[in-house]
């Protein structure tokens, strides 16, 4: 994965974790029976499950398309043994 996309993914997971933690503090009284269960309280969890499912499907689809691309156009063989990859060049 490209480095800036990894950073964006980490940010997205961090924000989602904060939101779900805050929402969990609102769900605790529902779990303990102090408040009735209402659908709006569970909405962030439903969206998270749906989003993770969608993300997984898109990830598999992108990997399949990329593998098909490499199969159809393998490119020219090069000797890259002398190249030193720095921190900005993921291998």
pLDDT 10s digits, 2-19: 778 889 999 999 999 999
Comparison of pLDDT for 45 and 89, the residue scoring more = 45
| pLDDT value for 91 | 62
| pLDDT value for 77 | 84
Task: Tell me the average pLDDT across 60-84.
Answer: 87
**pLDDT per residue as tens digits for the range 24-56:** 988 888 888 888 888 888 899 999 999 999 999
| pLDDT value for 90 | 63
Kindly state the tokens that stand for 75: 């490119």
Domain residues for 57? 3-64
Q: What is the DSSP string of the chain?
A: --HHHHHHHHHHHHHHHHHHHHHHHHHHHHHHTSS---HHHHHHHHHHHHHHHHHHHHHHHHHHHHHHHHHH--------TT----TTS--
For residues 54 and 48, what is the distance between their CA atoms, to the nearest angstrom? 10
Is residue 40 one of the residues assigned to a domain? yes
Is residue 59 one of the residues assigned to a domain? yes
10, 35 in Cβ contact below 8 A?
no
44, 20 in Cβ contact below 8 A?
yes
> How many folded domains does the chain comprise?
1
| pLDDT value for 73 | 87
Is residue 42 one of the residues assigned to a domain? yes
Is residue 54 one of the residues assigned to a domain? yes
Is residue 7 one of the residues assigned to a domain? yes
| pLDDT value for 8 | 93
């Amino acid at each position: 994965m490209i480095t800036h996309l990894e950073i964006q993914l980490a940010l997205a997971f961090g924000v989602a974790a904060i939101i779900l933690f805050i929402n969990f503090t609102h769900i605790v009284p529902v779990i303990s029976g102090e408040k009735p269960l209402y659908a709006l309280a569970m909405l962030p969890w439903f969206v998270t499950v749906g989003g993770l499912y969608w993300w997984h499907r898109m990830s598999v689809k992108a990997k399949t398309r990329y593998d098909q691309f490499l199969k159809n156009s393998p490119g020219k063989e090069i000797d890259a043994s002398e190249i030193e990859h720095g921190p900005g060049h993921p291998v």
